[in-house]
Amino acid sequence: MRDAFFRALAAAGRDDPRVWALTGDLGVGLFDEFTRVAPGRFLNVGIAEQTLVGAAAGLAYAGRTAVAYSIAPFLYSRAHDQVRVDVALADANVKLVGVGGGVGYGHLGPTHHAIDDLAALRALPNMTILTPGDPAEAEAATHAALAHRGPVYLRLGKNGEPSVLPAGHRLAIGRAAWLRPGADVTIASVGTMLPTALAAATELERRGVDAGVLHYGTLKPFDAGALDAALARTPVVVTVEEHSVLGGFGGAVAEAMAESGRPGLLTRVGLADTFAHAVGSREHLLARYGCAPLGVVEAARRGLARCRAVRAA
Amino acid sequence: MTPAPTSVAARAHEIRRLVVEMALAAGSCHIGSALSIADILAVLYGGVLRDLHGRPDGSSGDRFVLSKGHAASALYAALATVDILDPHDVVAGYSQDGGAYAGHPERTTPGVTTSSGSLGHGPALALGLALADREDGTGRRTVCLVGDGELNEGSVWEAIALAGHLALPELVLVVDANGWQGLGAVADVTDLEPLDAKLAAFRWDVATVDGHDLDALGTTLAAAAPRPRAVIARTVKGSGLDFMEDTFMSHYRSLRPADRERALASLERRRAA
């Protein structure tokens, strides 16, 4: 996803003289193409995230489209007050690009994991949150973010994610996408967990369970209509997120389900109110914390069993 | 260009008068913080900031960033003296239920460049604006005003270091050094003196000025430099209200209706002096 983002950023920098790119001393070599095609519009502010976001906002106030890039937690968490006041409150045309959303920087430990970014940013008025599911969608999301007027948080994985979306897939801000229908259970996934959700659906099919996959490439604005359509098919929903289960995607789905007026039963897969203390790669951590495909399969089984129990009672 | 001192003095008086009227109407605090910058704003809005109503080509003129947002009433008052806001509106609408002017400024208000109130944000915002000014190459400047207590914020020093490194002549930082902050004297909380030497060490062009000497402020604020310029304005908290000048409590005290006569009389004495 990271390479896809930088491709799109360079293309935008070449085509639009208003686009600036700022970094907090991260992304070695990755801004080379941008600086070549957009000379004078790149700035490394140093290891100074508050200034990264503040200066990006200042540029935006002066009519620029300012992109601020860092490892996700340093962007949304270290500089949250600047994100809140200078960007969200001001409704500024700043694009916050966080790399390593979730536990992408697995081995580097919990300081480098973004497990509360969706919760922290979802509550900010004016903020749009884009959560691409594969590299092609990350590239499309970058272009969509730059074309959108106003604050955007673009949550990227790291790099080397598989391409899983069909060739005809089009990202539309605020719209979730059905990747497969399912009559028994809906697996709703956000961003980087899409390959996991698809693998879980395949495994469930092998076990005789018809699972649909609903992918949220945008967390906010939240597509409540797509969820309503899911509930019209089956009451059992499993949310899958590379994030705490509190306040992020599972939280958004829970809110929408409660307000939908339809019967529903939700099971959330994600970090169960814990930091990922274990040491390991992203894949190791996802498995260790129940977020690998088999963890999603198990969550679906639990959801279906509870649904049957409720109906029998 | 510095306008005639008499008109700047009249503007300073009008800013103080409006600040006092706003404080009386709202029963609000932060009067001391607003009054300490009245003369600085009178000079800035009296000619140092160019093209306040925009340039002939439609672009904006020089920009002012009030980082110490709790002095919002002084900013509203200054904007009222240049016909960007209406003086009756700001008195009627400042810090009132349903009013248009919050206790800390919002960017949606005409003439207000940045929303502030959370301290330490202004310098980085001003740096970003100055980067755009440099790219535009039109000689526009961005002036950012911080309080001396606000210098406790680490984010201020991030931006000061970077602006010095980038040698941005489009950026001016004014420090309202009134010597007081939330729980006491700045010197007792985190003494940052010698402030001029610190700023100079960060490669800023530094000047120290009496923040109530209109002529000196005019010359100092209008001066150009090849680097970012810091103006340390030594000010008096509550300046103009002799019964609360240079007192800690002028940060918190509100004016009561019974204070009206002596407050306005004090401003008149200052004008006559």
- The per-residue pLDDT for range B52-90, each reduced to its tens digit, is 999 988 888 999 999 999 999 999 999 999 999 999 999
**Strands B229-234 and B171-177: what pairing?**
parallel
Task: Give the mean model confidence (pLDDT) for residues A215-240.
Answer: 97
Phi, psi values for residue A188, rounded to 5°: -100, 120
pLDDT tens-place string over residues B138-183:
899 999 999 999 999 999 999 999 999 999 999 999 999 999 999 9
Closest residue on chain B to A81 (Cα): B118
Q: Binning pLDDT at 50, 70 and 90, where does residue B109 land?
A: very high
Determine what percent of chain B is predicted with pLDDT higher than 70. 98
What token pair was written down for A205?
């099919």
What's the sign of the alpha-carbon dihedral A51, A53, A58, A59?
Answer: positive
pLDDT higher than threshold 70 for residue B1: no
Average pLDDT, chain B: 94
Shortest distance, CA A86 to any CA of chain B (angstroms): 7
Local structure of residue A112 (DSSP, 8 states): G
Q: Give me the total of CB pairs closer than 8 Å, taking one residue from chain A and one from chain B.
A: 94
In this prediction, residue B68 carries a pLDDT of 98
Distance of CA A235 to the CA centre of its chain: 24
Tell if the CB–CB gap between B132 and A63 is shorter than 8 Å.
Answer: yes
Tell if the CB–CB gap between A51 and B124 is shorter than 8 Å.
Answer: yes
Shortest distance, CA A173 to any CA of chain B (angstroms): 26
Q: Binning pLDDT at 50, 70 and 90, where does residue A239 land?
A: very high
Please answer whether residues A67 and A37 qualify as being in contact, where contact means their C-beta atoms are separated by less than 8 angstroms: no
Local structure of residue A89 (DSSP, 8 states): I
Task: Give the mean model confidence (pLDDT) for residues A55-84.
Answer: 98
In this prediction, residue B6 carries a pLDDT of 55
Q: Binning pLDDT at 50, 70 and 90, where does residue A15 land?
A: very high
In this prediction, residue A220 carries a pLDDT of 98
Please answer whether residues A234 and A145 qualify as being in contact, where contact means their C-beta atoms are separated by less than 8 angstroms: no
Domains and CATH numbers, chain B: 5-272 (3.40.50.970)
Tell if the CB–CB gap between A50 and B127 is shorter than 8 Å.
Answer: no
What are the distances in angstroms from CA A2 to CA A73, A164, A177, A242, B195?
16, 16, 22, 17, 43
In this prediction, residue B240 carries a pLDDT of 96
Distance of CA B204 to the CA centre of its chain: 19
pLDDT higher than threshold 50 for residue B2: no
Please answer whether residues A201 and A212 qualify as being in contact, where contact means their C-beta atoms are separated by less than 8 angstroms: yes
Domains and CATH numbers, chain A: 2-155 (3.40.50.970), 177-312 (3.40.50.920)
Tell if the CB–CB gap between A81 and B121 is shorter than 8 Å.
Answer: yes
Helix (H, G, I), strand (E, B) or coil at A216: strand
Task: Give the mean model confidence (pLDDT) for residues A152-173.
Answer: 96
Encode burial over A13-45: b for 16+ CB neighbours within 10 A, e otherwise.
beeeebbbbbbbebbeebbebbeeebeebbbbb
Tell if the CB–CB gap between A62 and B133 is shorter than 8 Å.
Answer: yes
pLDDT higher than threshold 60 for residue B5: no
Shortest distance, CA A234 to any CA of chain B (angstroms): 46
Among B124, B132, B161, the residue with its CB nearest the CB of A64 is: B132
Q: Token pair 């001001």 is at which residue? A: A90
